[in-house]
Amino acid sequence: MTRVLVTGSNGFIGRALVSRLRQDGHEVTGFDLAQGDIACEGVFDQFYGIDHCYHLAGKSFVPESWKNPLDFYRVNVMGTVNALEFCRREQIPMTYVASYLYGEPEYLPVDEQHPVKSYNPYSHTKMLADNTCQFYAKQFNMPVTIFRPFNVYGPGQSPLFIIPEIIAKFLDPSVPEVEVMDLRPKRDYIYIDDLVEAFFCSLHSSGGIYNLGSGYSKSVREITSLVKEITGSNKPVKEKGVNRPNEIFDLYADISKARRDFNWSPVTPFESGVEQCVVALQQR
């Protein structure tokens, strides 16, 4: 049995990870806002006897990062430094979760050597935190595993994300048509259970940087068509034709490193994962 600390334990990914760890018999301590401000000095002093730390806590809503960038830098960067300092003092491994680091791809699929870029305060804070994890790993000889998941989805995800947003529009009888900004963008989607399984593999890892995804991309057009088929809806799909600033039209991961080092591969077909999301929303 491993004693595990999970920061951000009440978030979408955190809840799934805590459940998976406990299911396997590990002793899990959660850290969220109720336990304190992760960026405050000394907040980790309440924890002891921990064998591994999963650092998931942070602020993540991109539009808010433009309105209040200072808080994003404080929580996402200094909160990560706080977690790293705790792990350094306790001499325990840490798993950190980064995201939205690559920007417009210079080549596909995107591997871990691809240059990182940022186009908003949120992604910049994640890039800085990712770099700080690499610095601690090298300079303090710490086992730090950095996971860079692409687009995570699954039951229980916030309706602010594209897949639950589309499903909700198809299921809501008061919505006459399903309107999206642009049908063209393609992304690499990874189901929550597959992501958590990769996290589980890092419990005894010596560290490293790993992309996590499906290895292929799906467009907004494909998602709307799939959800329409699953729900049996006759609603029309309307495209606003609005290009978001710095829009990326295709992005998917090279996951060969995680396959090689962890013998990990995603097992949930996209169609099955989306269907489970539909069922979960229908049962609410």
Q: What pLDDT, on a 0 to 100 scale, did the predictor assign at position 197?
A: 97
Q: What pLDDT, on a 0 to 100 scale, did the predictor assign at position 246?
A: 73
Q: What pLDDT, on a 0 to 100 scale, did the predictor assign at position 263?
A: 97
Q: How far apart are CA 57 and CA 74, in angstroms?
A: 12
For residue 70, the tally of other CB atoms under 10 A from its CB is: 8
Query: What's at 262, amino acid-wise?
Result: F
Beta bridge partners of 250: 186
Phi then psi for 130, rounded to 5 degrees?
Answer: -60, -45
Beta-strand pair 218-219/186-187: antiparallel
Q: How far apart are CA 231 and CA 251, in angstroms?
A: 27
pLDDT tens by residue, the chain, 284 residues: 799 999 999 999 999 999 999 999 999 999 998 899 999 999 999 999 999 999 999 998 888 999 999 999 999 999 999 999 999 999 999 999 998 899 899 999 999 999 999 889 999 999 999 999 999 999 999 999 999 999 999 999 999 899 999 999 999 999 999 999 999 999 999 999 999 999 999 998 999 999 999 999 999 999 999 999 999 999 999 999 877 777 889 999 999 999 999 999 999 999 999 999 999 999 98
Looking at 3.40.640.10, 3.90.1150.10, 3.40.50.720, 3.40.50.150, the CATH number of the domain 3-282 comes to 3.40.50.720
This prediction's pTM: 0.95
Q: What pLDDT, on a 0 to 100 scale, did the predictor assign at position 103?
A: 87
Task: Write the pLDDT tens digit of every residue in 144-193.
Answer: 999 999 999 999 999 989 999 999 999 999 999 999 999 999 999 999 99
My answer on whether omega of the bond before 164 falls inside 30° of 0, hence cis, is: no
Q: By the 8 A CB rule, do 92 and 52 touch?
A: yes
Phi then psi for 179, rounded to 5 degrees?
Answer: -105, 130
Q: What pLDDT, on a 0 to 100 scale, did the predictor assign at position 79?
A: 98
Q: What pLDDT, on a 0 to 100 scale, did the predictor assign at position 23?
A: 95
Q: By the 8 A CB rule, do 213 and 253 touch?
A: yes
61 to each of 24, 158, 175, 197, how far by Cα in Å?
31, 11, 25, 25
Q: What pLDDT, on a 0 to 100 scale, did the predictor assign at position 1?
A: 76
DSSP codes, the chain: --EEEEETTTSHHHHHHHHHHHHTT-EEEEESGGG--TTSTTGGGG--S-SEEEE------HHHHHH-HHHHIIIIIIHHHHHHHHHHHHT--EEEE--S---S-SSSSB-TTSPP--SSHHHHHHHHHHHHHHHHHHHTT--EEEEEE-EEE-TT--TTSHHHHHHHHHH-TT--SEEES-S--EE-EEEHHHHHHHHHHGGG---EEEEES-SS-EEHHHHHHHHHHHHT----EEE--PPPTT--SB--B--HHHHHHH-------HHHHHHHHHHHHHT-
Q: How far apart are CA 216 and CA 284, in angstroms?
A: 30
Q: By the 8 A CB rule, do 86 and 47 touch?
A: yes
Report how far apart the first and last C-alpha atoms of the chain are (Å, whole number): 35
Q: By the 8 A CB rule, do 30 and 18 touch?
A: yes
Q: By the 8 A CB rule, do 146 and 133 touch?
A: yes
**Domain map of the chain by residue range?**
3-282
